[in-house]
Amino acid sequence: MEVNGFGPKGFPESKNDTFLRAACGEETHYIPVWYMYQAGRYLPEFRETQAVQDFISTCRSPEACCELTLYPLKPDPGMRPTQGPLENPFTSPVKALGMEVTMVPGKGPSFPEPLREEQDLEHLRDPAVVASQLDYVFQAITLTRQQLAGHVPLIGFADAPWTLMIYMIEGGGSSTMAQAKPWLYQRPQAGHQLLHILTDVLVPYLVGQVTAGAQALQLFESHAGHLGPQLFTKFALPYIRDVAKRVKAKLQKAGLAPVPMIIFAKDGHFALEELAQAVYEVVGLDWTVMVTLQGNLDPCSLYASKEEIGCLVQQMLDDFGPQRYIANLGRGLYPDMDPKHN
């Protein structure tokens, strides 16, 4: 993983790589913290009608986008990762496909002409040319990475195929998915076709972000909970996996250092095990996931001396902490183990 902070364009070395090291599974001296903020939702100057429309234009300006992305660091230049670029994750790849996107005050991204029929897919641009429409995003990332000067890592992001599909069909946010979910039952072939198109768009989009300077990537499946286990396994998980596999392969082919990838599936608690095996380095949990952990001492450690076993158990307890945890072996006992070591 690209922990040292150097990129293909000779960016300065990272002065704080704790987040990157944690994302790569390395031991760190403290717990890194980052949070997401969206300027259109978070900053009061972008909440009025005219300001919302200006926000779309602002996000197409690399210089303005960079300034907004660096906003959280101005009051407190502490060592916190920042996420960028600031344009809404829906709008960049979807607009590049040829769909009109507007910002509605109090509502967010809106698609005046959503997809309604299978034939509507024919009007989308070829995914192969979409990346060429997104140069302003990549410029914003490069400028932001340069301005950060290695003080904090820069996280690139995109929404996952199913979430993008929802907005393209619903025309905006929805609590029922009354337009999008019927595609999965009534025209599943067209649904898969659209998800394939979106995957083909997202892969070069995310690779382009890394090329431009992003040091980690997060994929948001913001509406995983609307699918449930069966539909998620069929219409979301395969494309989530495909995005990560293809991004990693293209980075390797281009001679670029791999970066840690994060998958965040809102309300996807039923698929945590599958997501953990989906070749992402980090699985993000939403606030609704409350679990108690159990485990995970190596059973073979019971072959060690009692003194060493005691040290290993203590280390395990220290690592997990005293709350919401049940100490256990990572598997069952073996037949030839000394009962006195149990």
pLDDT tens digit sequence for 122-163: 999 999 888 888 999 999 999 999 999 888 899 999 999 999
In the chain, the N- to C-terminal Cα span, in Å, equals 39
State the pLDDT at residue 5.
44
- Pick the closest to residue 58 from 49, 47, 46 (CA basis): 46
Q: pLDDT tens across 87-116, in order?
A: 444 578 998 999 988 877 777 778 999 999
pLDDT score at 118: 95
> Which residue intervals of 30-98 are DSSP H helices?
39-42, 49-59, 62-69, 91-96
Helices (H) and strands (E) in the chain — how many of each? 13, 9
Q: How far is CA 287 from the centre of its chain?
A: 16
Residue 57 corresponds to which tokens in the numbers above?
């234009």
Is 32-341 in CATH node 3.20.20.210?
Answer: yes
- Among 118, 125, 120, 114, which residue's Cα sits nearest to residue 169? 114
Q: Are 134 and 92 in contact (CB under 8 A)?
A: yes
Beta bridge partners of 262: 218, 282
> According to the model, what pLDDT value does residue 206 have?
96
Report pLDDT for 6.
Answer: 41
Is 320 a residue whose pLDDT tops 90?
no
**Are 171 and 99 in contact, with CB atoms under 8 Å apart?**
no
pLDDT of residue 175: 85
Alpha carbon 43 to its chain centroid, in Å, reads 23
Extract the tokens encoding 94.
């979807």
Peptide bond into 299 cis (omega under 30): no
Q: Is the pLDDT of residue 45 over 80?
A: no
Is residue 49 pLDDT above 60, yes or no? Answer: no
Q: Is the pLDDT of residue 72 over 60?
A: yes
Closest listed residue to residue 90, CA positions, set 78, 102, 77, 79:
102
**Res. 216: pLDDT tops 70:** yes
CA atoms of 179 and 23, how far apart (whole Å): 37
Q: How far is CA 282 from the centre of its chain?
A: 9
Mean pLDDT of the chain: 84
The residues pairing with 156 across neighbouring beta strands, listed in sequence order, are 217
pLDDT single digits (tens) 259-306: 999 999 999 999 999 999 999 999 998 888 777 778 788 888 888 999
Name the residue among 39, 69, 42, 36 with its Cα closest to residue 54. 39
pLDDT at residue 39 in the model: 62
d(CA 156, CA 140) in angstroms, rounded, equals: 11
Q: What's the pTM?
A: 0.82
Helix (H, G, I), strand (E, B) or coil at 89: coil
108 bridge partner residues: 104
**Higher confidence at residue 322 or residue 217?**
217
Q: What is the pLDDT of residue 50?
A: 45
Would you say residue 84 has pLDDT above 70? no
Q: Is the per-residue pLDDT at 211 higher than 50? A: yes
Q: Where are the domains of the chain?
A: 32-341
Given a contact cutoff of 8 angstroms between Cβ atoms, the answer to whether 131 and 205 are in contact is: yes
What's the Cα-to-Cα distance from 72 to each of 36, 105, 139, 140, rounded to whole Å? 10, 23, 20, 16
